[in-house]
Amino acid sequence: MQTNFFRKIIFDEKSRSLLIQTLVIGLFALFIYLITQQTAYNLEKRGISSGFDFLHISAGYDISIRLIPFTSEDTHLRAYFVGLLNTLMIAVCGCFLATIIGFLVGIIRLSSNWLFRNIAYVYVEFTRNVPVLVQIILYYSILLNLPKIKQAIVIFDNFYLTNRGFFSPSPIFKDGFSIVAWSLVIAIIFSFFLKRFLKKKQEDTGKQYPTFMINSAIIIFTPIIFYYIMGMPLEFDRPVLKGFNFKGGMVIRPEFLGMLFGLSIYTAAFISETVRSGIISVSKGQREASQALGLKSNFIMRLIIIPQALRVIIPPLTSQYLNLTKNSSLGIAIGYADLVHGFGGISLNQTGRAIEIMMMVMLTYLTISLTISFFMNIYNKSVQFKGNA
């Protein structure tokens, strides 16, 4: 009986693999446990304090690139959120810009125009094959060589381009502006339902409506009309050169722009290849069939090619978004105050809590990445073949 049991474990494939897996997991758990124990022991032995109490003491440093107010008296925890928001800002803006450039370049690479096609080709090969860090530093250095603050390039009287950033007037919302904003929201919701309604009507009657034009007009003109009805409740705070710097207005810092250009131009090259492969993957017969049906060429692209290409494009696109988000941690190289630079760098140095802070930073990146994957997977499902898995 007993020999049978052991024999089963050794010779039965299923039980054997189960045993091995259990052992490996067990050893791995033991490994993690020992590492943790040893680290805690070493920290204690060297007299290095640990714990998360530091989150509630004041940070003592200032961050100039921030989306929420922050002073040196705020806590390290708040510095964490400032950094997190900056990371999210560069990730969102970067993904957005990279997608636009990527789709354009991907389509241009398939263009019949020799010059455009090859310019796109050179762009892709160059940016794909130069490390992103080098590119970020390159764009940042170019931005630093813009005119100094006193010799700013003036654009339309109110915009200033300098090596300290791009200064523009900032809007001041006065009473009644919320109504304008709400009118925009309502216009968008309305146009959404209108689109469904017109589509249904088209399916019923076969008559086509210029849905896009109608909806654009609704979304653009509704808030403009309300803006005038409410008595133009919007003013601008214009930047004025006073002393060392511009006062008032808004500014986009060169550190942000350097990151944005570096990340999106680099990632766009990969996205364009994804887009190109997606379009090529749609069989030639589809295009020929739609031409035979007499569809216009932009309809062919929009209704036949792109929806099928998306099935191929989305999964690799997701991983490009993830790459861009993770690469945003390179902000440290040019002083962009992202999560790694501010909280993971300065706070770490001021408090010495390397393990705690790095754990928090890692978990944060993990959460962001998993969230992106989650939503991209939902989107991916929506563009796949229906009922034919």
Partner 1 sequence: MTKIKSLFISLVLTLGVSTAIAGSHGSTHDLVKERGKLMCGSNTGLAGFGAPNDAGVWEGIDVDVCRAVAAAVFGDASKVEYVPTTSKVRFTVLQSGEIDMLSRNTTWTLSRDVDLGLEFVGVNYYDGQGFMVNKSLGVSSAMELDGASVCIQVGTTTEMNLADFFKANGMSYESVPVETNSEADAAYTAGRCDVYTTDASGLYASRAGYPDPSAHVVLPEIVSKEPLGPAVRHGDSEWADIVRWSLNAMIIGEELGITSANVDEMKSSKNPEVLRLLGVDAGYGAMLGLSDDWAYNILSQVGNYSESFEKHIGPNTPINIQRGLNALYKDGGILYAPPFR
Cβ burial of 176 (10 Å; 0-12, 13-18, 19+) is middle
Among 4, 13, 45, 385, binds partner 1 (CB under 8 A): 45
Closer residue to partner 1, CB minimum distance, 144 or 366: 144
- The DSSP bridge partners found for residue 246 are 241
Q: How many residues bind partner 1 (CB under 8 A)?
A: 50
CB of 242 to partner 1, least distance (A): 7
Closer residue to partner 1, CB minimum distance, 102 or 345: 345
| DSSP notation for 5-74 | HHHHHHH-HHHHHHHHHHHHHHHHHHHHHHHHHHHHHHHHHTT---SSGGGGSB-----SS-SS---TTS
| DSSP notation for 116-180 | HHHHHHHHHHHHHTS-HHHHHHHHHHHHHTSPPGGGPEEETTTEEEETTEEEE-EEEE-TTHHHH
Binding to partner 1 in span 332-351, by CB under 8 A: 332-333, 335, 337, 341, 345-346, 348-351
CB of 136 to partner 1, least distance (A): 13
Distance of alpha carbon 368 from alpha carbon 322, whole angstroms: 9
Distance of alpha carbon 32 from alpha carbon 40, whole angstroms: 12
CB of 153 to partner 1, least distance (A): 14
CB of 39 to partner 1, least distance (A): 8
CB of 64 to partner 1, least distance (A): 5
Going residue by residue from 209 to 238, which x/- string records binding to partner 1, judged by CB under 8 A? Answer: ------------------------------
Distance of alpha carbon 89 from alpha carbon 328, whole angstroms: 10
CB of 22 to partner 1, least distance (A): 13
Going residue by residue from 110 to 149, which x/- string records binding to partner 1, judged by CB under 8 A? Answer: ----------------------------------xx--xx
CB of 166 to partner 1, least distance (A): 14
CB within 8 Å of 161: residues ≥ 6 apart: 146, 147, 152, 153, 155, 167
- The DSSP bridge partners found for residue 250 are 168
Across the beta sheet with 159-162, the strand order is: 153-155, 159-162, 165-168, 250-252
Closer residue to partner 1, CB minimum distance, 106 or 345: 345
Asked if residues 308 and 286 have their Cβ atoms less than 8 Å apart, the reply is: yes
Closer residue to partner 1, CB minimum distance, 19 or 154: 19
Among 36, 178, 245, 283, binds partner 1 (CB under 8 A): 245
CB of 252 to partner 1, least distance (A): 13
Minimal CA–CA distance to 168: which of 150, 147, 153, 151?
Answer: 153
Count of H-run helices and E-run strands, the chain:
13, 8
Closer residue to partner 1, CB minimum distance, 35 or 154: 35
Supply the angle between the helices 211-229 and 177-205 in degrees, to the nearest 10: 160
Among 48, 225, 240, 362, binds partner 1 (CB under 8 A): 48
- Asked if residue 240 binds partner 1 (CB under 8 A), the reply is no
Among 247, 296, 302, 381, binds partner 1 (CB under 8 A): 247
Stretch that binds partner 1, among 28-36, 77-85, 276-284, 368-376 (CB under 8 A): 28-36
Binding to partner 1 in span 168-207, by CB under 8 A: none
Distance of alpha carbon 244 from alpha carbon 253, whole angstroms: 16
Minimal CA–CA distance to 372: which of 380, 383, 384, 382?
Answer: 380
Binding to partner 1 in span 60-89, by CB under 8 A: 60-64, 71-73
DSSP tag of 250: E
Interacting residue ranges for partner 1, rule: CB under 8 A = 20, 24, 27-28, 30-31, 34-35, 38-39, 41-42, 45-49, 60-64, 71-73, 144-145, 148-149, 163-164, 242-245, 247, 254, 332-333, 335, 337, 341, 345-346, 348-352, 354
